[in-house]
Amino acid sequence: MASNPTRARVTVVGSLNMDLVVRSPRLPQPGETLAGRGFAQVAGGKGGNQAVAAARLGAQVSMLGCVGADANGAQLRAGLEAERIDCAALETGREPSGVALIVVDDASQNTIVIVAGSNGELTPATIARHEATLAAAAVVICQLETPPESVRAALAAARRLGKTVILNPAPATAPLPADWLPLIDYLIPNELEAAALSGLPVDSPADAARAAAALRAAGARNVLVTLGARGVHASLEGAAATLYDAPRVEAVDTTAAGDTFIGGFAAQLAQGASVDAAIRFAQRAAALSVTRAGAQPSIPTRSELDASD
């Protein structure tokens, strides 16, 4: 099954940003100025990160999105192509490429501010132009860093085409529209996003279980709540709710850990793995990613993961 090219293909619909990353002793308070210790400019965006993760972790990947006609856009495209990601559906818009301003503290926590730029030019018409790219996939991944109407168009097209559909609802500030949930096979929020989607506090694995149950009751088929070092709560159709413990590692930078999890999970599903095996594989990949700095630079390859066994 894993050798079938269509079976192993993942299409990512979403954002690409240039990440401007500063390290500081702690995260600044409102109105406060801190002295940082370092600066890096690296490719990012949740869509781009998840595409790179899926590619490095074993899938054939296509990227459907939009970059600017600027130096950042050229660098973002070249970075994907260097990972052997198909960029035929990556369009060039009129706006500058998206950017993300990221502060990472000594506890490996981060704050992020995003300027959408050309990501805002991904429209339902863009999705329609590249339906063949969706049709060629086994798994389609979406996030919320592009316009909502475009995300829904991608979810609806992927569902109509019979694909396995993953939504990473990031960033989420409110419940999803009710008509989105039937389009999604795997809803994968972190604890903050699960709280925003469900309207329930999520401060513990038990809270995550309640939030996931509420999202399932609202129509979500399967819900995976990622909890960082506390693991992943899985609420799946036809199975008992399960907490998957996270591998223990010394974290350096948690940026893109969630994206690594989603890319690894999708790559495994596309290759025919069970959901249980896909979750455990994705957790191992995310754990290895947090031992390194940066977004895409931290994402491991399948060979690195195999070597760590």
Asked whether residue 112 is assigned to any structural domain, the reply reads no
**φ, ψ (nearest 5 deg) of residue 163:** -90, 160
Tokens of 131: 């339906």
**Contact (CB, 8 A) for 16 and 47:** yes
Asked whether residue 295 is assigned to any structural domain, the reply reads yes
Mean pLDDT, range 103-131, rounded to an integer: 92
**Contact (CB, 8 A) for 14 and 65:** yes
Mean pLDDT, range 269-276, rounded to an integer: 96
Is 145 annotated as ligand-binding? Answer: yes
Asked whether residue 126 is assigned to any structural domain, the reply reads yes
Can you give the residue range of the structural domain that contains 212?
Answer: 9-16+45-96+119-307
Asked whether residue 259 is assigned to any structural domain, the reply reads yes
Is 119 annotated as ligand-binding? Answer: no
pLDDT for 165-194, tens place per residue?
999 999 998 999 999 999 999 999 999 999
- How far apart CA 32 and CA 119 sit, in angstroms, is 30
Asked whether residue 141 is assigned to any structural domain, the reply reads yes
Catalytic residue flag (residue 259): yes
Question: How many folded domains does the chain comprise?
Answer: 1
The model carries a pTM of 0.92
CATH assignment at residue 69: 3.40.1190.20
Under the banding of pLDDT at 50, 70 and 90, the label for residue 230 is very high
Residues in CB range of 201: below 8 A, 6 or more apart:
195, 207
**Contact (CB, 8 A) for 164 and 140:** yes
Asked whether residue 26 is assigned to any structural domain, the reply reads no
Is 258 annotated as ligand-binding? Answer: yes
Is 255 annotated as ligand-binding? Answer: yes
Asked whether residue 103 is assigned to any structural domain, the reply reads no
**Residue of 259, 276, 306, 309 marked catalytic:** 259
- Eight-class DSSP state of 106: T
Asked whether residue 215 is assigned to any structural domain, the reply reads yes
